Amino acid sequence: MIKIDLSNLAKIKAQHGLSGKELFAEPAKIKNLLQKIESRKQGFHTVIDDTSANRKISDYSAKNKGKYKDLILLGIGGSALGTICLQQSLKHLFHNELAGSSKAPRLHVLDNIDPTLMSEICDIIDLKSTLLIVVTKSGTTPETLAQYYYFLDKIKAKKLNPKNHFVFITGSGKSVLRRFAEEYGIVVFDIPKNIGGRFSVLSAVGLLPAMLMGLNVKELLAGAKEMRKSFYSPDWTRNMPYLLATAQSKLLKKGKIINVMMPYSQKLIRFADWYGQLLAESIGKQGTGITPISALGVTDQHSQNQLYNEGPNDKLFIFIKAAKPGPVIQIKASGKDPETAYLKNLSFGKLMETEMMGTIGALTENARPNLTVEIDKVDEYHMGGLFMLFEAATAFLGEMMNINAYDQPGVERSKEITKKLLTKKNER
């Protein structure tokens, strides 16, 4: 189960918070907003029904089970962040170290073109037992193609067949990557035209790596479908994405131009990173937007909390709490020392939860708006729900702000300039 607690918004000064009347003032608008979202014809909330695509992913994964010791994902931005999140959230935190003694493949995500990164990854893998997953919707992303060329050269140098060591995830239109697939007979998985990279984690972009890692994709999709019921609901009391977006939208008008997502679970910090792109690239347009910041409880209580409590009051804090954060591990404090007696009979989970309550309490006292999203535990079902919750909230937020949440003209312009500069260089 996923719950959202907005009660602290009403506990702080009016200029910084939201009363119940403000938060729930316009429930009738939800039907109109849902119609506007539907008119965009975006597929982030319908791709989870694509049984044919999911069957192809399942068949490919079953066919290649146990074949590779290493998976390397070549991609950037929305092509990588969802997979990084899935690995961090749903595999053992030290999965790659453990995988050496089991049949589970290690996963490495190369979401940068730093030459040191490109070089040093080759020191820990054997290409003979490696599958390279190339992800680019356009099929022309220069960073990803550069990575592809780099590894293709190494594959050929080892006299290996590219079709046995590459798999492509790309858009259905004609592209350079499609030509490479035809040339070498490489398997291709399609990214639907109506799904942008930052909304693509529940498509083949995230599901293929997830299944190759041995994750339960059925549960991931089941959680997403359950949250979609909330998203489609015209009843604002049940529509969590609508309530979240309403809080963000109304607080933006009160000067809360930054959203800090602070999960209290080591496994969820990459979810905050994934959301950072989703929020920034979807809403940051037309001279407005919300700046995302990732923080981790309890770590960042000791690195950022001073600013949050006494710095500019320009932030909304979104806490994510797992009711069952992990195994119950008791702290072995004797209780004989008065200064540490409070640790006696305490578990690490309870200590972490109490510190979260302290952080939230201090922010509330200092009139810093905050809300909490709670999940039962970090597993495939709840991660699917979280992905859908925040994607759907972003869709609502775009309509509330009269912004197209699905394009990225600022990003495209930088790509155009980069390509022009490189073209001029090669023409000399």
| Residues belonging to the active site | 281, 302, 415
Residue where the block lists tokens 């939230």? 360
Residue where the block lists tokens 């994934």? 274
Separation in Å, CA 269 to CA 79, 106, 160, 417: 18, 20, 37, 33
Separation in Å, CA 132 to CA 62, 163, 212: 17, 10, 12
Tell me the pairing of strands 370-377 and 2-5: antiparallel
Helix 380-400 with 240-252: angle, nearest 10 deg: 50
